[in-house]
Protein backbone atom coordinates (compact mmCIF):
# COMPACT_ATOMS: atom_id res chain seq x y z
CA UNK A 1 0.00 0.00 0.00
CA UNK A 2 1.26 3.49 -0.83
CA UNK A 3 0.64 6.11 1.80
CA UNK A 4 1.81 9.64 1.26
CA UNK A 5 1.57 11.30 4.62
CA UNK A 6 2.54 14.93 4.83
CA UNK A 7 3.71 15.97 8.26
CA UNK A 8 4.45 19.65 8.72
CA UNK A 9 6.59 21.53 11.17
CA UNK A 10 8.23 24.91 11.02
CA UNK A 11 11.87 25.85 10.98
CA UNK A 12 13.71 29.13 11.06
CA UNK A 13 15.72 29.67 7.86
CA UNK A 14 17.46 32.99 7.31
CA UNK A 15 14.94 34.90 9.40
CA UNK A 16 11.97 33.29 7.68
CA UNK A 17 9.68 30.65 9.09
CA UNK A 18 9.43 27.79 6.58
CA UNK A 19 7.15 24.81 6.55
CA UNK A 20 9.04 21.55 6.38
CA UNK A 21 7.15 18.74 4.70
CA UNK A 22 7.90 15.06 5.08
CA UNK A 23 6.63 12.49 2.63
CA UNK A 24 6.27 8.83 3.47
CA UNK A 25 6.32 6.17 0.78
CA UNK A 26 5.20 2.62 1.36
CA UNK A 27 5.32 -0.26 -1.08
CA UNK A 28 5.27 -4.00 -0.72
CA UNK A 29 7.83 -6.38 -2.14
CA UNK A 30 6.86 -10.04 -2.30
CA UNK A 31 9.13 -12.88 -3.39
CA UNK A 32 7.37 -15.09 -5.96
CA UNK A 33 10.30 -17.33 -6.86
CA UNK A 34 9.73 -20.38 -4.68
CA UNK A 35 9.90 -23.29 -7.12
CA UNK A 36 8.88 -25.84 -4.51
CA UNK A 37 11.86 -26.27 -2.20
CA UNK A 38 12.37 -22.67 -1.10
CA UNK A 39 15.97 -21.63 -0.66
CA UNK A 40 17.24 -25.15 -0.08
CA UNK A 41 20.20 -24.30 -2.34
CA UNK A 42 21.51 -21.32 -4.30
CA UNK A 43 20.14 -22.75 -7.56
CA UNK A 44 16.86 -24.04 -6.12
CA UNK A 45 14.93 -20.78 -6.26
CA UNK A 46 14.11 -17.99 -8.68
CA UNK A 47 14.84 -14.39 -7.87
CA UNK A 48 11.38 -13.33 -9.09
CA UNK A 49 9.44 -10.85 -7.00
CA UNK A 50 6.79 -8.18 -7.39
CA UNK A 51 6.84 -4.60 -6.26
CA UNK A 52 3.38 -3.29 -5.50
CA UNK A 53 1.76 -0.05 -4.48
CA UNK A 54 -1.93 0.62 -4.01
CA UNK A 55 -3.69 1.59 -7.21
CA UNK A 56 -0.75 0.81 -9.50
CA UNK A 57 0.16 -2.19 -11.63
CA UNK A 58 2.80 -4.45 -10.12
CA UNK A 59 6.41 -4.12 -11.24
CA UNK A 60 7.97 -7.50 -12.03
CA UNK A 61 11.38 -7.68 -10.39
CA UNK A 62 14.32 -10.04 -10.29
CA UNK A 63 18.04 -9.84 -9.73
CA UNK A 64 20.51 -8.92 -12.43
CA UNK A 65 21.01 -11.83 -14.87
CA UNK A 66 24.61 -12.04 -13.63
CA UNK A 67 23.16 -13.10 -10.27
CA UNK A 68 20.76 -15.72 -11.66
CA UNK A 69 18.02 -13.19 -12.37
CA UNK A 70 15.42 -13.06 -15.12
CA UNK A 71 16.50 -10.59 -17.81
CA UNK A 72 12.84 -9.94 -18.70
CA UNK A 73 12.21 -8.40 -15.25
CA UNK A 74 13.43 -5.16 -13.70
CA UNK A 75 16.35 -5.48 -11.32
CA UNK A 76 17.08 -3.10 -8.41
CA UNK A 77 20.09 -1.60 -10.14
CA UNK A 78 18.05 -0.66 -13.22
CA UNK A 79 15.32 0.79 -11.02
CA UNK A 80 17.87 2.93 -9.15
CA UNK A 81 19.32 4.33 -12.40
CA UNK A 82 15.79 4.92 -13.74
CA UNK A 83 14.69 6.73 -10.58
CA UNK A 84 17.69 9.08 -10.77
CA UNK A 85 16.83 9.84 -14.40
CA UNK A 86 13.14 10.37 -13.63
CA UNK A 87 13.90 12.68 -10.71
CA UNK A 88 16.21 14.87 -12.80
CA UNK A 89 13.73 14.98 -15.69
CA UNK A 90 10.78 15.93 -13.51
CA UNK A 91 12.71 18.74 -11.80
CA UNK A 92 14.03 19.99 -15.15
CA UNK A 93 10.55 20.04 -16.71
CA UNK A 94 9.17 21.85 -13.65
CA UNK A 95 11.90 24.49 -13.80
CA UNK A 96 11.38 24.96 -17.54
CA UNK A 97 7.64 25.46 -17.04
CA UNK A 98 8.25 28.04 -14.31
CA UNK A 99 10.82 29.84 -16.51
CA UNK A 100 8.54 29.68 -19.60
CA UNK A 101 11.17 27.67 -21.46
CA UNK A 102 9.10 25.36 -23.66
CA UNK A 103 10.32 21.77 -23.89
CA UNK A 104 8.74 19.67 -26.62
CA UNK A 105 10.74 16.49 -26.16
CA UNK A 106 12.92 14.81 -23.53
CA UNK A 107 14.76 11.50 -23.60
CA UNK A 108 17.51 10.15 -21.41
CA UNK A 109 19.77 7.13 -21.74
CA UNK A 110 21.41 7.05 -18.32
CA UNK A 111 24.12 4.62 -17.37
CA UNK A 112 25.09 3.40 -13.93
CA UNK A 113 28.31 1.63 -13.04
CA UNK A 114 28.30 -0.82 -10.15
CA UNK A 115 31.36 -2.70 -8.94
CA UNK A 116 31.40 -5.93 -7.02
CA UNK A 117 33.54 -6.04 -3.92
CA UNK A 118 35.70 -9.02 -2.89
CA UNK A 119 33.33 -9.85 -0.02
CA UNK A 120 30.49 -10.51 -2.50
CA UNK A 121 28.78 -7.16 -2.05
CA UNK A 122 28.89 -4.22 -4.35
CA UNK A 123 28.28 -0.52 -4.73
CA UNK A 124 27.58 2.01 -7.43
CA UNK A 125 30.56 4.08 -8.53
CA UNK A 126 28.51 6.61 -10.44
CA UNK A 127 25.47 7.26 -12.58
CA UNK A 128 25.65 9.46 -15.67
CA UNK A 129 22.46 10.98 -17.03
CA UNK A 130 22.42 11.87 -20.72
CA UNK A 131 19.26 13.90 -21.32
CA UNK A 132 18.44 14.99 -24.87
CA UNK A 133 16.01 17.87 -24.83
CA UNK A 134 14.09 19.40 -27.70
CA UNK A 135 13.23 23.05 -27.15
CA UNK A 136 10.57 25.07 -28.97
CA UNK A 137 13.23 27.81 -29.22
CA UNK A 138 16.67 26.26 -29.79
CA UNK A 139 18.17 29.66 -28.95
CA UNK A 140 17.41 28.94 -25.29
CA UNK A 141 19.91 26.07 -25.08
CA UNK A 142 22.18 27.99 -22.69
CA UNK A 143 19.28 28.65 -20.31
CA UNK A 144 18.27 24.98 -20.55
CA UNK A 145 21.82 24.00 -19.55
CA UNK A 146 21.55 26.25 -16.49
CA UNK A 147 18.25 24.64 -15.56
CA UNK A 148 19.83 21.18 -15.85
CA UNK A 149 22.37 22.32 -13.25
CA UNK A 150 19.61 23.60 -11.00
CA UNK A 151 17.54 20.42 -11.45
CA UNK A 152 20.60 18.37 -10.55
CA UNK A 153 20.92 20.23 -7.27
CA UNK A 154 17.23 19.78 -6.44
CA UNK A 155 16.82 16.08 -7.22
CA UNK A 156 15.79 14.32 -4.01
CA UNK A 157 17.20 11.00 -5.06
CA UNK A 158 20.56 12.29 -6.32
CA UNK A 159 20.89 14.15 -3.00
CA UNK A 160 20.31 10.87 -1.15
CA UNK A 161 22.86 8.55 -2.71
CA UNK A 162 26.52 8.21 -1.70
CA UNK A 163 28.01 8.14 -5.19
CA UNK A 164 28.36 10.80 -7.88
CA UNK A 165 25.45 11.47 -10.20
CA UNK A 166 26.54 13.48 -13.21
CA UNK A 167 24.63 14.76 -16.18
CA UNK A 168 25.87 15.28 -19.70
CA UNK A 169 23.01 17.14 -21.31
CA UNK A 170 22.94 17.23 -25.09
CA UNK A 171 23.08 20.90 -26.08
CA UNK A 172 21.40 20.13 -29.37
> Using one digit for the tens of pLDDT, what is the confidence trace for 76-118?
999 999 999 999 999 999 999 999 999 999 999 999 999 999 9
* 17: helix, strand or coil: strand
Global pTM?
0.84
Domain 75-171, CATH 3.30.465.10 — does that match? Answer: no
pLDDT of residue 21: 80
Average pLDDT, whole number, for the chain? 89
Query: Rounded distance, CA 82 to CA 90, Å?
Result: 12
Extents of the domains making up the chain: 22-74, 75-171
| Band of residue 16 on the pLDDT scale cut at 50, 70, 90 | low
140-169 residues labelled b (16+ CB within 10 A) or e (exposed) = bbeebeebbeebbebbeebeeeeeebebeb
Ranges assigned E (strand) in the chain: 6-13, 16-23, 28-31, 49-52, 59-61, 103-108, 111-116, 122-129, 131-135, 165-167
Number of helices (H), then strands (E), in the chain: 2, 10
| Band of residue 2 on the pLDDT scale cut at 50, 70, 90 | very low
* 169: helix, strand or coil: coil
| Band of residue 35 on the pLDDT scale cut at 50, 70, 90 | very high
pLDDT of residue 130: 96
Amino acid sequence: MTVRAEISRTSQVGGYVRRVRRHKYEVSVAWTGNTGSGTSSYRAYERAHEIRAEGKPPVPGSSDPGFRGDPARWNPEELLVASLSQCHMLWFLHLCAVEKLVVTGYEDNPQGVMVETPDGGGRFEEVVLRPRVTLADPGQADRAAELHEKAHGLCFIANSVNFPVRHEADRG
